[in-house]
Amino acid sequence: MTKLSVNINKFATIRNARGGNNPNLVKIAIDCENFGADGITVHPRPDERHIRYSDVFELKKILTKEFNIEGNPIEDKFVELVLDTKPTQVTLVPDSNNQITSNQGWDTIKNYRFLNDIIAVFKKEGIRTSIFVDPIIEMVECAKLTGTDRIELYTENFAHNYKTATGDCIKPYITAAIKASEIGLGINAGHDLDLENLAFFKQNIPNLSEVSIGHALVCDALYLGLHNTIQQYKSKLI
């Protein structure tokens, strides 16, 4: 079954809005694991507007399942954080410091040398690597050359067009996933996946190892409760 990694950034956003420690991010992460999540994802940014670097160290102490840290390795501070905490996986995302959220995959051709060098640093420490990519065959093929273990398919375009162009919007992702499997890359996915589109995506993408979901899951939890929400997301991945 495809694993569900819960991105807890939005919980940290709520906490930071009022200061203090409510909600308690460590308790949120423990609860997510206990409620059925297969892993926890965080995406610390330089301005620490949601996840703080100190949060990552605290989470590392208590998590018992997979820990995935996302971010742009262009920042030395991010690279040092990953090396100091040694998560299960590091997902490399090409976002700029002031972006609200990630909005594109890597150009793995243009950035091949940089990605190859930094991935070697992480893999030397036994950290699984994943590269955020758009569903473009050439980007997937060059991702393989960087030495990464996995790719994470950037799914915003699929999610945005799901209601109006269901069949067409999934086709590039199927093609990219097939190519990734053929050349020995693991496949993750994330961005705007939700309870409405997740089952369809899972059913059509071969060898999907993991999805990382945050914003939609946190919004659903406001109505359904966190335990129930995680269980519903898990049911879409069977």
Looking at residue 103, its pLDDT comes to: 64
Looking at residue 102, its pLDDT comes to: 57
The residue type at 18: R
Looking at residue 26, its pLDDT comes to: 98
Is the distance from CB of 37 to CB of 47 less than 8 angstroms?
A: no
Collapse the DSSP code of 206 into the 3-class scheme (helix H, G, I; strand E, B; otherwise coil) and give the result.
coil
pTM of the model: 0.95
- Give dist(CA 222, CA 92) in Å, integer: 29
Looking at residue 96, its pLDDT comes to: 63
Q: How many residues does the chain have?
A: 238
What structural domains does the chain harbor? 3-235 (3.20.20.70)
Looking at residue 95, its pLDDT comes to: 77
Residues 198-215: tens digit of each pLDDT: 999 999 999 999 999 999
Q: Which residues have C-beta within 8 Å of that of residue 106, sequence separation ≥ 6?
A: 92, 94, 115, 131, 132, 133, 139, 143
Looking at residue 187, its pLDDT comes to: 98
Per the annotation, the verdict on 191 as an active-site residue is yes
Q: What residues in the chain have per-residue pLDDT under 70?
A: 96-103
Closest CA to 8 of 30, 151, 148: 30
Looking at residue 166, its pLDDT comes to: 84
Per the annotation, the verdict on 43 as an active-site residue is yes
- Give dist(CA 9, CA 49) in Å, integer: 9
Looking at residue 108, its pLDDT comes to: 97
Q: Which residues have C-beta within 8 Å of that of residue 220, sequence separation ≥ 6?
A: 194, 195, 229, 232
Is the distance from CB of 63 to CB of 33 less than 8 angstroms?
A: yes
Looking at residue 101, its pLDDT comes to: 56
Of the candidates 33, 66, 152, 191, the residue annotated as catalytic is 191
The residue type at 39: G
Looking at residue 165, its pLDDT comes to: 87
- Angle (deg, nearest 10), helices 9-18 and 25-34: 150
Of the candidates 43, 50, 66, 210, the residue annotated as catalytic is 43
Of the candidates 33, 50, 66, 70, the residue annotated as catalytic is 70
Per the annotation, the verdict on 50 as an active-site residue is no
